[in-house]
Structure 1
Amino acid sequence: MGQFILREVRGKVGVITLNRPEVLNAWHGPMRAELIEAFSEMEANEAVRAVILTGAGERAFGAGQDLNETKQFDPDRAELWIGEWEALYDRMRSLSKPIVAALNGVAAGSAFQVSLLCDFRIGHPGVTMGQPEINSGIASTTGPWIMREIIGLARTIDLTLSGRMMDADECYRIGVINRIVPQSEVMAESLKLAGELAEKPPVAMRLNRARFREVTEPGFRDCLAAGARNQRIAYETGEPARMMEQFLATRAARKKS
């Protein structure tokens, strides 16, 4: 068992928990690798018929990328980084079992994207979601792809270029959150929904998820190619490292005040 991802099986439902609450469940390379392993375990476990993905603690489903990792990248490492996301996203997209995101607090950047790759999202009134990557100097490619599939191009442009976060009401209104319940009831509601999904015919479930993957595959592959190209260009300029240092310094100053 790894230290960054928790796994649990409750009857026919597998529960995967992002477990870096001290940094709002922001991910780095080891955490991404463990998450892929966890999804593979749930796929291989025939007793598991549905999966819940959530974050440890009450403040965040996930804050997205750990900037302390990416601020050190050079262009070659930035390009490899896109391959790491490809492996995770492909693992989620190829799962034969439905995935429910149990949201707690913030889901930002790549964590927002991961929540959109889930089939359902259960949230509470304090949830915030969005794509603030531009604020830390990260050019977005996988984010705009999945957002366009879910919420359309106009809203994708808004969120990508402004970097703003949406509150739970807006997320529910545009279909990003499927159900809003009190925060204390998010996991119970997610378990209820996952339990209902676990009782659906498994072959039909597998074929339906596979079909959704097929119809979105060209855009997925296109965004990965663009990601490798754009991250190399961005990191060659030095802008991401400068912006991430500035972002981290500003955040540290806010914590002290």
Structure 2
Amino acid sequence: MSEILCDIRDDIALVTLNRPAKLNAVNQALRASLIETLAQLNEDAAVRAIVLTGAGSRAFCAGQDLEDAAEVDIERIPAWLNAQRAMYQAVRDLDKPCIAALNGVAAGAGFQIALCADWRIAAVNVRIGQPEVKAGLASIVGSYLMTLHVGMTHNVQMSLSGDLIDARRAYDIGLVTELTEPPNVLDAALERAKHLAKLPAHAMKLSKRRFRALTQPGFDAACAAGIEAQTECYAHGEPQAAMRAFLNAKASTDSRA
């Protein structure tokens, strides 16, 4: 099964994170395929806009796959986080409009992918958040990306509690651009993409490049700080303990199923 699906509809590319049984969580294969797919679409002049979504109704993307992350040790943290950075950068590097159609949960790395898009259309039942602290990880890159959309009060609350918020609150504070009913989220995103695709492509490209230039130093600094912080977290053993607890609980649940 391909972790990323790409369907070209006229001048719109629909890119689907395709691990529904794992809530479309990010693993190495999905990350690499997403980076490659977005780079190809960015070079395709026939594609004028991109919609990102997740397979199934349960999740846009539930974040990092903890089974995949459990294989990371302290020496591998720079390589792992640089790969995550490349995934976010692939979304940021798009010179054409990118709309995230959020269905179900958008958390952690999935939330951050959505924050890198230009437009976030969420079903009203979506839950969104930055739960890294609950996994023993510092909230660094995600908290930086939130500064591009919300003020310090909301950022601190979400980053330090790790709690997910509902789509209506996310819309009220500026993390979500539009709300819609669950059955309509993809149609709404495709419709928005059609409108944006009709705008002059070169003006769109230059406008996006300017936004990228304004935020790139902060993004780069956050990614570097993230490597330092997560290395320290791993040195204290908190992420390893949190992931062991999660995987043990999952194994226990699976054995009873």
TM, length-normalised to structure 1: 0.95
Which residue does 1:142 correspond to in 2? 141
Report sequence identity in percent.
Answer: 41
Q: Which runs of 4+ in 1 moved over 6 A?
A: none
Query: 1:225 is matched by which residue type in structure 2?
Result: A
Residue 9 (structure 1) aligned with residue 8 (structure 2):
yes
Query: 2:156 is matched by which residue type in structure 1?
Result: I
Query: Does structure 2 conserve the Cα–Cα contact (< 8 Å) formed by 1:55 and 1:62?
Result: yes
How far off its partner does 1:251 sit?
Answer: 5.1
Aligned partner of residue 199 in structure 2, secondary structure? coil
How far off its partner does 1:107 sit?
Answer: 0.2
Query: Does structure 2 conserve the Cα–Cα contact (< 8 Å) formed by 1:74 and 1:236?
Result: no
Further displaced range: 128-137 or 229-238: 229-238
Query: Does structure 1 conserve the Cα–Cα contact (< 8 Å) formed by 2:88 and 2:112?
Result: no
Query: 1:132 is matched by which residue type in structure 2?
Result: P
Structure-to-structure mapping, 1:113-132, within 5 angstroms: 113-132=112-131
Query: 2:223 is matched by which residue type in structure 1?
Result: L
Aligned partner of residue 2 in structure 2, secondary structure? coil
Structure-to-structure mapping, 1:186-197, within 5 angstroms: 186-197=185-196
- Cα RMSD between the aligned structures? 1.5
Which residue does 1:106 correspond to in 2? 105
Query: Does structure 2 conserve the Cα–Cα contact (< 8 Å) formed by 1:106 and 1:129?
Result: yes
Which residue does 1:236 correspond to in 2? 235
TM, length-normalised to structure 2: 0.95
* Number of equivalenced pairs: 256
CA shift digits 1:197-252 (9 cap, x unpaired):
00011111001111111111111111111011112112122221111111333455
Q: Kindly tell me: are residues 180 and 208 of structure 1, through their superposed partners in 2, closer, same or farther at Cα, counting changes over 3 Å?
A: same
Which residue does 2:44 correspond to in 1? 45
Q: Distance in 2 between matches of 1:81 and 1:181?
A: 35
Query: Does structure 1 conserve the Cα–Cα contact (< 8 Å) formed by 2:127 and 2:164?
Result: yes
Q: Distance in 1 between matches of 2:252 and 2:164?
A: 21
Q: Distance in 1 between matches of 2:105 and 2:88?
A: 20
Gap runs ≥5 in structure 1: none
Which residue does 1:96 correspond to in 2? 95
CA shift digits 1:119-140 (9 cap, x unpaired):
1111112100000111111222
Which residue does 1:66 correspond to in 2? 65
Q: Distance in 1 between matches of 2:56 and 2:40?
A: 23
How far off its partner does 1:91 sit?
Answer: 1.7
Gap runs ≥5 in structure 2: none
